[in-house]
Structure 1
Amino acid sequence: MKTNFEISLKFKLCKGIEEYGCFQVGANELFAKELFNMMEGTEDITKESIMLIDFIKWERGIPFPVNAKHCTYNQLATNVKLITRELFKQHQLAH
């Protein structure tokens, strides 16, 4: 099976963490890492950071967490816009 990368969006709730969205960012590891590194957020947990973004590598159907960022609603909005723009550019270059 092919290695793929994803960026997973999660809420931090009183009852725990719940995934509500996911971006499949493809098999290009360099692109996936650069995209995640461009995103806003911090590795540190703060009271304002109520969203969690996980960077996950899928290999042979098994998820391997690579990195994570905690962010605010505003940072999340910026990140979703960034992911969408960069994925669009990546797909345009592929065709």
Structure 2
Amino acid sequence: MPYHKNKQQAFQAAQQGTMEAKEWYDHLVKDQADYGSQLKHLKQEVNEAFAQINNALEVASEKQRKQLEQFRDDLQAIVDEVNQYE
């Protein structure tokens, strides 16, 4: 049972990290004075989420793996979008 619990906890951390990164991205406003600060925080959230996803992939079930790969794709889309403006 502890293995299953760790697997679920790892997945939930990756899911939460991805959601937080998406929220930061949704609130990012290019024209605001604190854009640089917002962007720095977004990058930190994205990097943490990628790390959580990689950690979860090590113990994920097949169903979780597919969802984690989608999280990773979503984050990569954010990175690609942000890089267009830099």
TM-score w.r.t. structure 1 length? 0.32
Q: Which has the higher helix share?
A: 2
Larger RCO of the pair (alpha carbons < 8 Å, separation 6+): 2
Larger radius of gyration: 2
Q: Which has the higher strand share?
A: 1
TM-score w.r.t. structure 2 length? 0.35
